[in-house]
Amino acid sequence: MKNNYKVSNKLAVLFIIACLSVGRSQSKDEVQIKKMYDLALTEGKGYDWLNYLSNQIGGRLSGSVQAQQAVDYTKAQLDSLGVDKVWLQPVMVPKWVRGTPEFAYFETTPGSTTNVAICALGGSVATPSTGVKAKIIEVDGIEQLSTLGKDQIEGKIVFFNRPMDATQINTFTAYSGCVDQRYAGALEASKYGALGVIVRSMNLRLDIYPHTGSMSYGDQPESERIPAAAISTNGAELLSTSLKLNPDINFYFKQNCKLFKDVESYNVIAEIKGSEKPDEIIVVGGHLDSWDLGDGSHDDGAGCVQSMEVLNLFKKTGYKPKRTVRVVLFMNEENGLRGGNKYAEVAISKNEKHIFALESDSGGFTPRGFTFDSSQEDFEKVLTWKNLFKPYLVHYFEKGFAGADIGPLKKDGMVMAGLRPDSQRYFDHHHAENDTFEHVNRRELQLGAATMASLVYLVDSNGF
């Protein structure tokens, strides 16, 4: 009895020691994470940075004066954080210019016209100076072109009207389901003799804003390229209804966008050198360029300032990373991905060892979690940190696509992640005139920054 008592006593002591030691290491993480969330919500700089980028600079299309102003501004702000190194990485980017505002109407009977809101798709050619006027034919996607054939398409404008699928809870899945008509619609329709294409905006909501976005002609000769524009969802609905009443409608549109020669621009990079393993690099970033219609607050001013905030939160909380933590503001994600490609090219040529990359390019909305592109083993390690995010209502940890800009860096053994904010309202603003600062909520933006800083902290302190 006495001996048993001793043994159980000993076990109890061991158990308490074990609990305390687990408790200590957990609470160190919990304390650091809480500090960063608290600071982000009270003294974070991200919202003010975004205010400047959006309201003092505005839309930052690659090759524009505004893109250069954004490079200068973010570099100066990163300099002011007192990190170890800030530099610009040169990269050649395309320079596409929209020109004067586009104009479009449809004509039900001669002289009876209804104006509709359109915008040229990024990279599109102009219409002839007098515009294009022709019969318009509606399709539900690229697949339907071959069914209609040259007979029914030649000499007409093709109207791609497949809507985003409203039943998809992940709105990015809905986007993927129809973005091919925007990206390749003009190239495909031109093979059947179409004169131009009008594409329904990638938006789940019915509203007045046309949404631009990248499109490609592949290696099609310039003489065969046809102009492409997006129409607002309201415009698409009206046009579609009118076509059902009268399939003989004429459509007119005019745009004078132009592609110039490539110009030099920059990725903006800043880093805190690792105190123990400086050769192991962690990247966190977003893209500094945006489309020209709004001010690019959600896409992707938000991701840029959140990434900058990661370094700010480390400095402010006195956290000295073991590994090198680098923020990269990539140039030209929207119409070329040249910045992401250049960063990876330089990293490979210098034989740099990147262990982790995190991108924020899904808007500045309430953070829900992350997607991870990694081995199963590394993913399981990440899952052991999930509980640390519970107090912040961040719970979505899934495998999946991480990000476009960090994509070219990807290699075996590396872990890639994307911040996943709530996506329900993202496509209301994406690439449109209403992607503006007043649609970003300060708390939501700052919570996203703290969520990113917490994951970077956990990767840095634990490694893979």
Catalytic machinery residues = 333
Integer-rounded Cα Rg, in Å, for the chain is: 25
Supply the minimum distance, in Å, between the C-beta of residue 175 and Zn ion: 12
Exposure string over 283-306, b if 16+ CB within 10 A, otherwise e: bbbbbbbbbbbbbbbbbbbbbbbb
Give the neighbor-by-neighbor strand order of the sheet with 277-287: 85-97, 258-272, 323-330, 277-287, 353-359, 415-421, 367-373, 396-399
Backbone torsions φ then ψ of 336, nearest 5 degrees: 165, -25
Q: Are 260 and 123 in contact (CB under 8 A)?
A: no
Q: Which stretch binds Zn ion (CB under 5 A): 118-126, 185-193, 223-231, 358-366?
A: 358-366
In this complex, which beta carbon is closest to Zn ion, that of residue 300 or of residue 460?
300
Residue 287 beta carbon to Zn ion: minimum distance, rounded to whole angstroms: 6
Residue 435 sits in the site that holds Zn ion (CB under 5 A):
no
Residue closer to Zn ion, measured from CB, 75 or 287: 287
Please say which residue, 295 or 361, places its beta carbon nearer to Zn ion: 361
Q: Which stretch binds Zn ion (CB under 5 A): 300-308, 311-319, 337-345, 455-463?
A: 300-308
> Which residue stretch of 169-177, 240-248, 298-306, 437-445 sits at the interface with Zn ion (rule: CB under 5 A)?
298-306
Nearer to Zn ion, 162 or 429 (CB): 429
* 155 Ramachandran zone, left/alpha/beta (phi>0; psi -120 to 50): left
> What is the token pair recorded at 232?
């607002």
DSSP characters for 331-349? Answer: S-TTTT-HHHHHHHHHHHH
Binding segment (CB under 5 A) for Zn ion, from list 20-28, 82-90, 360-368, 406-414: 360-368
Residue identified by tokens 């093979």 is 191
Count CA atoms closer than 13 A to 115's CA, side-chain side: 6
- The stretch near Zn ion (CB under 5 A) out of 64-72, 292-300, 344-352, 445-453 is 292-300
Residue type, 67: A
Residues 104, 253 contacting (CB under 8 angstroms): yes
Residues 6+ apart with CB under 8 A from 442: 47
CB of 363 to Zn ion, least distance (A): 9
Using the minimum distance from each CB to Zn ion, give the nearer residue, 83 or 305. 305
Total of residues contacting Zn ion (CB under 5 A): 3
Task: Tell me if 274 sits within 8 A of 323, measured CB to CB.
Answer: yes
Q: Determine if 295 is a binding residue for Zn ion (CB under 5 A).
A: no
- Please select the residue that binds Zn ion; options are 300, 359, 373, 428, rule is CB under 5 A: 300
Shortest spacing between CB 330 and Zn ion, in angstroms:
10
Residue 299 in the binding site for Zn ion (CB under 5 A): yes
300 or 433: CB nearest Zn ion:
300
Q: Is 289 in the site for Zn ion (CB under 5 A)?
A: no
Which residue from 214, 180, 157, 112 is spatially nearest to 430, judged by alpha carbons? 214
> Residue 361 interacts with Zn ion (CB under 5 A)?
yes
Binding string, 203-242, against Zn ion, x = CB under 5 A?
----------------------------------------
Report the interface residues with Zn ion, using CB under 5 A. Answer: 299-300, 361
